Amino acid sequence: MDTIELTLTIPPAEHAPFLAELEAHATGFVQSDTELRAYVPADRWAAVDQKQLEARLAADGHPGALSIRPLEAKNWNAVWEDTLSPVRAGPFLICPASVDPPAVQNDAMVLRIDPEMSFGTGHHATTRLALRLLADTLARGDRVLDVGTGTGVLAIAACRAGADTALGVDPNSNAVRNARENVRRNVGTDCVTVQEGSVEAAPASRYDLVAANITRRVLLELMPALAAHLAPDASLLLSGILQSHRDGFLDAVASHGLHPDAEITEDGWWAGRFSRSPSA
């Protein structure tokens, strides 16, 4: 048993409190118009209070709305294949390798992404938020660092949009293999390199844009290292934070001499672009 999948059959308007409750345990979420799915590593399952979840659902008028199943070495293509639908995020269209982009999206930069063992298909708001911020921030010739690259989607998007180089790092060997395969699927991404590890795997150099779409807990742990990799006029893109945690997160980031330049939200999630404070 590798992962526990929790499915909560509730409408999107009621996702936020359950996202907040499960955020510390889950490594990823999939949201739709009819349900919320959370994926919890088996070694974290003991920390999840199943009875409390069921009681909260019942109190909200959804008795029996929770289903649980163990998954062996979860292949995220199973999630992707539920819809096999391209997803638009800013100027980008994230599309499975087996699906033709719709003609009405001929203005988009198509990113061919198959997730395998990693998150980053665009079906989750945190990925879409990160891509929108990236599109609004990236300048041609930028050097980009994508921390927790997953499928490699942000690094690939950066190079498609004109970055000079993009390095994606991820501590999960399956994610690294998957990201490298996705790089090969995409035309014009010779500038993307993928390495196993976290921020410490990146050369001790500065980047024009550092992006991280991870959980709030991990972002806070990595904040000193993320800030250390920023060039003087660089931008830091952070996604994976619930709207309800925005204020506390901003305070934590400010303690590292960074202030927000832009903020966007979607489906109860928040993402921000940061730069160094003048006095930092």
Q: Of 74, 90, 125, which marks where a domain is finished?
A: 74
Q: Is the pLDDT of residue 90 over 90?
A: yes
| CATH code, domain carrying 55 | 3.30.70
Specify the higher pLDDT residue, 68 or 203. Answer: 68
Angstrom distances, CA of residue 244 to CA of 29, 268, 269: 17, 8, 8
What's the total number of domains in the chain?
A: 2
| Same domain for 165 and 244 | yes
Kindly state whether residue 108 falls inside one of the protein's structural domains.
Answer: no
The more confidently predicted of residues 85 and 176 is 176
Q: Is 101 inside any structural domain?
A: no
Looking at the domain assignment, is residue 92 inside a domain? no
Whether 38 and 175 map to the same domain: the answer is no
Q: Is residue 84 part of a domain?
A: no
Asked whether the beta carbons of 265 and 249 are under 8 A apart, the reply is no
Same domain? 61 vs 126: no
Is 265 found in the same domain as 171?
A: yes
Inside any domain, residue 215 = yes
pLDDT of 74 over the 70 cut = no
Q: Are residues 21 and 130 in the same domain?
A: no
Q: What is the mean pLDDT of the segment spanning 71-84?
A: 61
Instruction: Tell me if 37 is assigned to some domain.
Output: yes
Find the domain containing 40 and state its range: 3-74
> 64 pLDDT band (50/70/90 cuts)?
very high
Q: Is the pLDDT of residue 279 over 60?
A: no
- Asked if 25 and 162 sit in the same domain, the reply is no
Give residue 73's pLDDT: 62
Domain harbouring 147, CATH code = 3.40.50.150
Lowest mean pLDDT among 35-44, 92-101, 120-129: 120-129
Residue at which a domain ends, from 44, 74, 104: 74
Measured CA to CA in angstroms, residue 110 lies from 82, 138, 161, 233 at distances of 20, 17, 11, 29
Is the residue at 81 inside a domain?
Answer: no
pLDDT score recorded for residue 79: 60
What average pLDDT does this structure show over 199-221? Answer: 92
134 and 206 share a domain? yes
Instruction: Decide if 125 is inside a domain.
Output: yes
